[in-house]
Structure 1
C-alpha cells in the first residue's frame, strides 16, 4: 500500500512495509535550524510505520504533534536539570508539566534522566542520577503513571572489560554508582539503555577491525559472534549479571553509522552507512536476539532520523541521518520507496502541488546538547576483526585499552 505525504515542499510517496517494521525505533534529534515541522515528522514516521521514537528533550511541539499516533515516545530530562530532579517537588512539577498534560493521547512510554551521565566527567552529576531517577519515578507513582513509563538513562563507556562478552564487567570505580542504579532498574522493571557505535571501532583501527564484522555481514570462521553490536550488548548483559541483576533487560538506545566524515574519519561513507543500517534492520525483521538472549528480540533505536546541521564536532556528527531535512533519503535502507514530484529544498512554508500555501513551518532553533558528541561517547563497546596473540595494549584514553581474546579479536574496553 502506498500513501503520499507533504514533507516541506516535497511530495513524498511511501510504500508501506510489513508490520514487522513496528519493532524499529528511531532517534529524532533536533539540533538543527532546517528540520521539518513536528507535524510533518509525525506523518513521515507513521507512513514508515515506525512506532518507537526517542527525543532529547520535552519539546511541546513534538509532544502535541505525536498525539493519537500510537508512537511510543521516550522523552529526556537534560543533564543540566538532573540535579533539580533530586528534589521530589521539582520532579513532580516536571512530570506534571512535561508528561501528564500530554498522556495518554501522546504515548510517552519512557523517560531518560540525562544522557551519558556516567561519562560526563562530572562527579556531582553522576552522584545525582539515582536520586533523580527515584524522584521522577515517585512522581509517576503519585500521578498514577508509573505503570506506563520506564525511567532510566542512556549509557556508554561504563565497562572495564567487554571482550569476550562473558568477561564483561563495569569499571571498579563505578561500582558504588552502578549498583544502586541497577537496584532501581530491577525494582521498577526498567531497561538498561546503551548507546553503541561499532563505527568507532572500525574508524580507530581499520587495519585490525573487520569491516564485514561491524557491518553485520556474516563472516566465515568459528567466531561465536558474527557482528560487533551483539557482542557489545552481551558484554553489558554479563556485566550486569556479574553484579547480581541478570534479569535487567538491555536495549540499544542509539546506534548508527555516518554517511559522511572528515578525511581522517575512515569508513564514514554512504555505502557503509547503508550496509550497517540495512543489515541491522533485516535482523530486526527476523526479531533476532543476541547469542546470550536469542529468544528476546533486541530493541534498537537507530540514530538518527535526520541529518542535523547544528551539531558540533567533526563532519560525521552532522551526517548520521537517514533523511535530509527536505525529505530526501540520504540512502535507502529498504524502509520505503521514496519519490518526489520535484527537487525542492525545505522552505519556510509547506505548499500543495499547485503552490498554494498550506501552513507555516515553525523551526525551533535549539542549542547543541551537551554530551552528544559520538567520539566522546564511544570509548568502548567495540570489538571484532582479527589480531595476533601479541596484539599490543594500546592506551586510548584513561583506562581504555585494546586486547585480544581467545578468538583473536581486538576489543577496546
Structure 2
C-alpha cells in the first residue's frame, strides 16, 4: 500500500486518467495489496510440533510465506523455531508451558530470566507479539489454576522491566470448560466455581488491555451431540440457523454463536469492551468410530468456510464492529499426540508438508488431494477461457460490421 500511495504523489493524476492501461495496472496492484493485507491479524494457524516426522522450522517458514499466513501460535518458545522465523515477517505468539506456571507464579526473577532467555534475544528480528501463559488452565488442576494470575502478573512485570510490555501481549487461552452455558448466545455465562480465578484474571487483563482468548470448536460440540446439532450449522453451510429469543439476533453458524456467548459472558461481568480472539478452532479429518463428523469432507468444508469468513474482516451478530480473529488448529497432523484418533488429525497439512485437503493452500510437496482438485480447476478454467475467447470473437465480428 505504501508503494501505491507514493506513486500517486509523483504521477500527474490527469496523466493517470488519460491512460486506461495504467488505471488497469493500478487496480490490479491495489487488489493484490488488499489480499495481502487481509491476512494480517485475522487468520492465523497453530504450529504444534507433537510429532517426529513434520517439516523443519525452516521449511515451515517457506510453507507459511507461500500461503501468506502471517500469524502463528506455538506452544513453547523453542529456540530453533524462533531462529528460523527471523526476518520472515510472520508474527508469533509463544507460550509459557503449563508446567512452569507454579514456579513463575511465586518468583518474578524466574519470569524475568525466562523472558531474557526465550524472548528478548530474538527481538526484533523475530516478531514475537505475545506470550500465552499456559493453555486451557482453568477447569483443570486447582493448584495450577491458583497459579495462573500470579504467573501472568510476574511475566507482565518482567516485560515492563525490560521495556517490552508495550510490544508483547500477555494472555491465557481458555477452553469451553470455563462456561456454565453458551446456548443461546445471550445465555453465555462463566462457571461460578471458576470465578475465584477467572474474576481476578479478567480484571488484570482489562487493566493491561489484553483480549479474552477462547478455544472454540464446533467440531467438538457436534461430536458430542450429532443428533441435536445440525452439521451444516457447525460447518458454515446453508441451514435454517437459530434465533436468539432474548436479542432477536439470527445465527447461521455455530462459530459466531460461540464467540458471541463469550462476549455476553464478559459483558455480564462488566467487560463489555474486552475483545474476544479465537485461539484455537478446527475440524478433524479422521477419528474413531464414535467421533461423529470426523472426516476429510467435513474438515475441508469447515476450514475452507472458516478461512473465507475470517478473511471478510467482519464482526458477529452481537458485536458487528468487533472484527473476528482466529487461529486454526492446526498446521500439521501430529502423530505423537495422545488421545482419540481425531487429536492426531487436525492438520491442514500432512507430516510431509503436502496438503491434507485442498482449501486453496499450496503444500511443500504435491499431494493426491491437490492433484485431483487442480485437474477440476483446470477443466473449469479451460471452459471459462473458451467462453471468453468465444465472446471476444463475437464482439470483434460485431465491430467489423
Interval containing the TM-score (normalised by the shorter chain): 0.7 to 0.9
Shift, 1:340, TM fit: 3.5
Work out which of the residue numbers 315, 322, 332 in structure 2 matches 1:306.
332
SS of structure 2 residue aligned to 1:68: coil
Matches within 5 A, 1:261-340: 261-336=287-362, 340=366
* Structure with the larger RCO, 1 or 2 (CA within 8 Å, 6+ apart): 1
Alignment partners' CA distance in 1, 2:165 and 2:242: 45
Q: CA RMSD for the aligned pairs?
A: 2.0
Distance 1:59 1:85, change over 3 A: same
Higher deviation after alignment, 136-145 or 194-203 = 194-203
CA contact (8 A) 1:91 1:139 kept: yes
Report what 1:125 is aligned to.
144
* CA distance, structure 1, for counterparts of residue 183 and residue 77 of structure 2: 37
The answer to which structure has the higher strand fraction is: 1
Contact 1:17–1:335 (Cα < 8 Å) also in 2: no
Instruction: Choose which of 81, 94, 108 in structure 1 pairs with 2:114.
Output: 94
CA contact (8 A) 1:152 1:185 kept: yes
Q: 1:18 to 1:56 in 2, by over 3 A?
A: same
Alpha-carbon distance between aligned partners in 2 of 1:257 and 1:110, rounded to the nearest angstrom: 25
2:180 matched to which residue of 1?
Answer: 160
CA distance in 2, matches of 1:85, 1:338: 39
Match of 1:39 in 2: 58
Between 174-183 and 33-42, the greater mean CA deviation after superposition: 174-183
| Structure 1 residue 119 displacement after superposition | 2.3
Q: Report the count of equivalent residues.
A: 328
Of 36, 45, 48, the residue aligned with 1:26 is 45
Q: Deviations over 1:29-81 (max 9, x none)?
A: 00000011100001111111101000001110000000111111011111110
- Among 207, 212, 219, the alignment partner of 1:192 is 212
Equivalent residues in 2 for 1:3-152, closer than 5 Å: 18-19=35-36, 20-22=38-40, 23-86=42-105, 87-120=107-140, 122-152=141-171
Distance 1:139 1:339, change over 3 A: closer
Distance 2:367 2:329 in 1: 28
Return closer, same or farther for 1:92/1:79 CA change in 2, 3 Å cut-off.
same
Other-structure match for 2:271 = 245
Equivalents in 2 of 1:257, 1:342: separation in Å? Answer: 20
Structure showing greater radius of gyration is 2
Q: Secondary structure at the match of 1:104?
A: coil
Q: 2:225 matched to which residue of 1?
A: 205
Confirm or deny: 8 A CA contact 1:17 1:336 kept in the other structure.
no
- What corresponds to 1:216 in structure 2? 236
Partner in structure 2 of residue 377 of structure 1: none
What stretches of structure 2 of length at least 5 have no aligned partner?
Answer: 1-31, 244-249, 370-401
Which structure 1 residue ranges, 5 or more long, are not aligned?
A: 1-14, 344-413
How far 1:288 sits from its partner (Å)? 2.2
Deviation at 1:222, TM superposition (A): 6.1
> CA contact under 8 A between 2:349 and 2:363: conserved in structure 1?
no
- Which segment is superposed worse, 300-309 or 175-184? 175-184
CA deviation after TM superposition for structure 1 residue 203, in Å: 1.4
CA 1:341 to 1:167, structure 2 compared with 1: closer, same or farther past 3 Å?
A: closer
Separation in 2, partners of 1:60, 1:135: 22
Equivalent residue runs for 1:164-179 within 5 Å: 164-179=184-199
Q: What displacement does 1:247 show?
A: 1.6
1:340–1:219 CA distance, 2 compared to 1 (3 A): closer
Partner SS state of residue 218, structure 1: coil
Counterpart Cα distance in 2 of 1:302 and 1:62: 19
Q: In the alignment, is the contact (CA less than 8 A) between 2:98 and 2:133 conserved in 1? A: yes
**Deviation (angstroms), 1:289:** 1.3
1:226-251 deviations in Å (ceiling 9; x for gaps): 11111111111111111111121110
- Please show how residues 334-353 of structure 1 align to structure 2 within 5 Å: 334-336=360-362, 340=366
